[in-house]
Amino acid sequence: MSHVRVAGSGLTAFGNTPERTSRDLFAEATVEAFEDSGVPRADVDAVFYGNFMGELSEHQGHQGPLMAEAAGVQAPATRYESACASSGTAVRDAVVRLRNGEADVVLVGGAERMTNLGTAGATEALAIAADDLWEVRAGTTFPGAYALMAQAYFDRFGGKREDLAHVAVKNHDNALSNEKAQYQSAIEVDDVLEAPTVSTPLGLYDSCPLSDGAAALVLTSESYAEEHDLEAPISITGTGQGGDRMALHDRDHLARSPAAREAGKEAYADAGIDADDIDLAEVHDCFTIAEVLALEALDLEQAGEGISAARDGRTTADGETPVNLSGGLKAKGHPVGATGASQIAEVTKLLAGDHPNSAHVPDATTGVAHNAGGTVASATVHVLEEVSDR
């Protein structure tokens, strides 16, 4: 099977920049991605762009062609919306398009402008990724929904807030050297435990921040990369997508992520690997409990054991399988439309030896990126592998 090469990637800094528009942010990310790739804009066959709340935060729909213009590209452009998995879904469709021979070069990424709405406005906008009729109108927000999932996990498998605190501490530590991260500051377990409660058992430091930012990837077919002698040693070798019922009360389990498990199994099979082959992972840790659920869904931890992974050092930077070396959503930030593509960018740099934290994984050849939408009613998983010498 022909693999898809990551020819270039670009990220803005993630953070609080309410004065910047999404088109401004995406334009910046694409400049870096094209410079990194060496691919001319004229060779782009399609633009796939992820965004969740543009109609609410910027009164802007029909964003595909708008973002193609911002990127300086003249090509058919499509906007993807799958809540926080928007650009992960865009990446998946770009991979399929390139594999099918329908394109040789696709610009794919995403952006989100959130902080201009303020905390209350952004919380309300994010809530529409839940079931409006049965969850939103009852007052459910995502901190509350993930708190229910955390409590369900504790009830079924055990664990406590201190275990989740280690996830937050780990990811803040990883973000210290990432200049694109929103929070480049260390925290301690006591800081997490003493922070204000958001929704029991989750506190302020269990939650990712509101973020503005953008990510862009230049993906090419293998034949294009070879024909143009591109320095693109990292390929997307596996892709998968899964789904689950929208509302929590309709699900069989609150302490599991069937959508992520389905996506992971498909991506592993597509790449011809299993979980034991994975050297590092970027997973969707919008809340600390989300990282735990993702690890178990991806078979990086057994059911009931993910809760101790950070505390016992298995997923720390020097652990057996480092997780969220970028800082994750928790510390790097979560501009929701950009997150899935940004995870691909981080894994690419980590495997290529170009990331500030690559020194922790000098022999890594295989990584996985897990992007989730809402309370994981949708999920994408991508496997990335080194296909040539660094």
Contact indicator for 235, 21 with CB cutoff of 8 Å: no
How many angstroms separate the Cα of 166 from the Cα of each of 29, 179, 186, 224, 281? 32, 22, 12, 44, 17
C-alpha triplet 121, 80, 78: angle, nearest 5°: 125
Residue 172 annotated in active site: no
Euclidean distance between CA atoms 217 and 382, whole angstroms = 14
Hey, what are 293's tokens? 């659920």
> Whose CA is closest to 112, among 95, 90, 96?
90
Euclidean distance between CA atoms 11 and 180, whole angstroms = 7
Euclidean distance between CA atoms 218 and 71, whole angstroms = 12
- Measured distance between the N- and C-terminal CA atoms of the chain, rounded to whole angstroms: 22
Euclidean distance between CA atoms 29 and 121, whole angstroms = 26
Q: H helices then E strands: how many in the chain? A: 13, 11
Q: 84, 166, 208, 382: which is the annotated catalytic residue?
A: 84
* Angle at which helices 288-297 and 142-157 cross, to 10°: 60
Euclidean distance between CA atoms 57 and 52, whole angstroms = 10
Q: Give the residue carrying structure tokens 């935060």.
A: 57
Hey, what amino acid is at 59? H
E runs forming strands in 261-303? 280-282
Q: 166, 172, 334, 370: which is the annotated catalytic residue?
A: 334
Residue 360 annotated in active site: no
Catalytic residues, by residue number, are 84, 334
